[in-house]
Amino acid sequence: MKILDLLIGQMSSASALKASWLMIRIYKISIALVFAWGAELAIAENKTVDNQFMNLSIEELMNVKVTTASRSPQKLTQVAAAVFVITQDDIRRSGATNIPDALRMAPGVQVERVGTDKWAVSIRGFNGVYDNKLQVLMDGRSVYSPIFSGVLWEQQDTLMEDIERIEVIRGPAAVSWGSNAVNGVINIITKKAADTQGTLLTAGGGSFEQGFVGARYGGKINEETPFRVYAKGFSRDHTQSLSGGNANDQWHSARGGFRADHNRGIDQFTLQGDLFSNFDGSALDKNGLSLSPTLTSGMRGHNEGGNIRFRWDRTFSESTSFMLQVYYDRNRSQLLPVGKFDAESFDIDMQYRFPLLDRHNITWGANYRLYHNKIFDTSLTTFSPRERTNHLIGTFIRDDITLIPDRLLFTLGSRFEHNDFTGMEIQPNARLMWTPNTENSIWMAVSRAVRTPSRAEIDSLINLTPQFQAFPGLPTLPFPIAASLQGGNHFNSEKLIAYELGYRHQFSPQASIDMTGFINDYSQLRDTNFGTLSLSTGLPRQFLFPIIANNQGSALTYGVETSVDWKPRDNWRLQGSYSFLNIDFSTNSAFKKTDPSSGAASKANPQHQLSVRSNYDFSERLQLNLWLRYTSAISLYNIPSYVTMDAKLAYKPTKNTELFVVGQNLFSQNHQEYVSDFIPIVPVFIPRGIYAGAQWRF
């Protein structure tokens, strides 16, 4: 409780807002109450509930699915970290047509749509189109770009029906997932081939989601070797810029892939691959035009890529297992004049888990990753050298120590990783989990994590003239100014030490709550300072104004995240989440009031986010799902707070078919969510959307 008290104390002293004050007091009270209930429950524990499986026939029993969570050595309720799982059922009921929109269901995740094909997704602050503190993996394949530290969300997709779950881990998780898992990790996990047998066809369309079609076939090569193949395509409308113009970001996408699993005794093998092609675009911000009058503001881009992955698992026993994974990923992208690149990565990863002595469970792993990429010069960005190969080699060890069986678990681990830019990075963490009984668990953690430099911070020269000309209070000079952001070899990793405290409580089989508080202490964050102003020698004569990336920023952030899950009735489920975030950034930069990634970070991230979902089944055939969201204002971009709602009505006329109507962002014609902070493209409104469709399984 001490850390939480500290946190609450800090929050109350720091936030002057009356609302926050009241909120904190209510929090204090509710936390106290929750503890009181916990005590009550411990007494009333000895009642028995019927085992629902006792009445099943043995054939039926053989078809009961024992969830993955219970199979994994660490059950979800026993994880000493802020974990939230978005299930396939959640995704289906939400009506989300893409992964970033589905992530809005998790507490503490900030998802702001920047255009039809662009999102800014972050956890615990520092949001941006390329949020550099969030690691993202699809089936164990890192999709975090080493070029500009971030995730190209438009490339991360699959058949939504084939996603088994999305695990969202808030807070540092560098030991298991490597560098750049600073503020969190998102793990998108697709179903096993055995779970996607049969044919699935889905199609539909509407206003913003203009049209989509998806197909999957799952079969068996033999009894031990199930497989699936899938293909999907969609077309999404363009958005409108704030001034009402066409933002030119209509998006057409096609994607296909396969997965085959093979079971042989204690061994399991998986081979999986995908291919995709996207046609999208953007409109350059008008300010950009003053630089190169020949440019038209509309840009059309294209990106394509693919990956292949092989994984081998050997399970010796419940507590001893071995895993080996190899993957190759390639993607090419161009959106001129902003950027054009060709990137590939290769990774080999192994893990071994075994018990030691009586009370220790050791997990040990090592990985090697190769990044090779080529970035072509454009009028806005130049990389030198253009082409680079980088190596990353890492190893980690983690020990789960049972201090008191079933009650007290202590975890100690560290990752040791070497990268080409900053050398060895050591990222340790310690976690303690106390489970006094099956209803309550309390955990705390202290972790260190780093965000390693991207190529953009080392090799790039980014033309900032357009943004710079928009900079207020600039004196008039006799020559035009050419401003540029320069990376350099001196750029170091960003560091974080995080303190977290969490509490979970199961009120009844129908209701539970999960609360987390954190304090993040960042140092050596990216910041910028002015280089020396000089006059160019060639023509046209202009001032060269270098802006140089440095590591002089530091920040203290704190926040709370809560999620609740309640089934008031068998056919009705309510899920709510609330998160609060405060960022204090220390900087001396001249851009401290305008740079969303440093001094202005606190104003570029919403402080409060709220989401409430209601899933109501009128009958087995008719379901109504509602989803209300609130995001507080983002003052840096003058974006007001907004409340919006999505709704999905699904009807199953027969067992195999489903018809659905989905409304998205229903509360207003359109609303603004964010502004592209890195690429100079026009800010847009996200429109209301309605689509309908059908799904057929056989």
Partner 1 sequence: MGMHLFNRLLKRSDKFVKRIFYHFLFALYLGFCLPVSHSVAMADSMVEYQVKAAFIYNFIAFTHWPDSTSQTINLCIYGEDYFGQEIDKLQNRSVNNRHIKVTRIADFDQLKACQAIFFSKSVSRQLSSILNDLQNEPILTLADNPNATAQGIAINMSLVNEKIVFEINLTKVRASGLDISSKLLQLAVKVHQ
Q: Interface residues for partner 1 in 201-230 (CB under 8 A)?
A: none
CB distance 229 to 216 below 8 Å: yes
Q: What is the nearest approach in angstroms of partner 1 to the Cβ of residue 110?
A: 16
Sheet with 82-87, edge to edge strand ranges: 82-87, 163-170, 184-190, 134-138, 141-142
In terms of Cα–Cα distance, which of 166, 165, 184, 164 is closest to 174?
Answer: 184
Choose one: 58-66, 209-217, 414-422, 493-501; the region binding partner 1 (CB under 8 A): 58-66
Q: What is the nearest approach in angstroms of partner 1 to the Cβ of residue 445?
A: 21
C-alpha dihedral, 672 to 674 to 679 to 680, nearest 10°: 50
Choose one: 26-34, 359-367, 424-432, 549-557; the region binding partner 1 (CB under 8 A): 26-34
Site for partner 1 in 73-132 (CB under 8 A): 75-78
Choose one: 114-122, 279-287, 479-487, 566-574; the region binding partner 1 (CB under 8 A): 566-574
Query: Alpha-carbon Rg of the chain, whole angstroms?
Result: 25
Q: What is the nearest approach in angstroms of partner 1 to the Cβ of residue 192?
A: 7
d(CA 132, CA 676): 14
Nearer to partner 1, 497 or 513 (CB): 513
Size, binding site for partner 1 by CB under 8 A: 75
Bridge partners (DSSP) of residue 282 are: 299
d(CA 71, CA 53): 18
Nearer to partner 1, 393 or 645 (CB): 645
Sequence-distant (6+) residues with CB within 8 A of 319 are 73, 353, 354, 355, 361
Nearer to partner 1, 41 or 401 (CB): 41
Site for partner 1 contains 40 (CB under 8 A): yes
Site for partner 1 in 422-451 (CB under 8 A): 438-439
CA 647 to chain centre: 23
> What burial letters (b/e) apply to 298-331, b meaning 16+ CB within 10 Å?
ebebbbbbbbbbebebbbeeeeebbbebebbbbb
Q: What is the nearest approach in angstroms of partner 1 to the Cβ of residue 564?
A: 6
Q: Return the residue of 63, 222, 243, 532 that touches partner 1, per CB under 8 A.
A: 63
DSSP 286-338: GGGGGT-TT--SEEEEEEEEEEEEEEEEEEEETTEEEEEEEEEEEEEEEETTT
Inter-CA distances, 114 with 456, 493, 600, 672, Å: 21, 27, 18, 8
Site for partner 1 contains 52 (CB under 8 A): yes
Site for partner 1 in 669-688 (CB under 8 A): 669
Site for partner 1 contains 62 (CB under 8 A): yes
In terms of Cα–Cα distance, which of 37, 6, 11, 20 is closest to 506?
Answer: 37
Site for partner 1 contains 668 (CB under 8 A): yes
Site for partner 1 contains 346 (CB under 8 A): no
Q: Return the residue of 578, 585, 660, 685 that touches partner 1, per CB under 8 A.
A: 578
Nearer to partner 1, 2 or 65 (CB): 65
Site for partner 1 contains 667 (CB under 8 A): yes
d(CA 394, CA 417): 4
Site for partner 1 contains 54 (CB under 8 A): yes
Nearer to partner 1, 420 or 565 (CB): 565
Q: What is the nearest approach in angstroms of partner 1 to the Cβ of residue 196?
A: 12
Site for partner 1 in 259-318 (CB under 8 A): 263, 266, 315-318
Binding string, residues 598-637; x marks residues near partner 1 by CB under 8 A: ----------x-x-x-----------------x-x-----
Q: Return the residue of 12, 87, 88, 192 that touches partner 1, per CB under 8 A.
A: 192
Site for partner 1 contains 357 (CB under 8 A): no
Site for partner 1 contains 70 (CB under 8 A): yes
Inter-CA distances, 423 with 390, 419, 503, Å: 12, 5, 37
Site for partner 1 in 637-656 (CB under 8 A): 640-643
Site for partner 1 in 125-184 (CB under 8 A): none
d(CA 359, CA 591): 53
Choose one: 25-33, 207-215, 340-348, 553-561; the region binding partner 1 (CB under 8 A): 25-33
d(CA 606, CA 128): 12
Element of type H or E holding 67: none
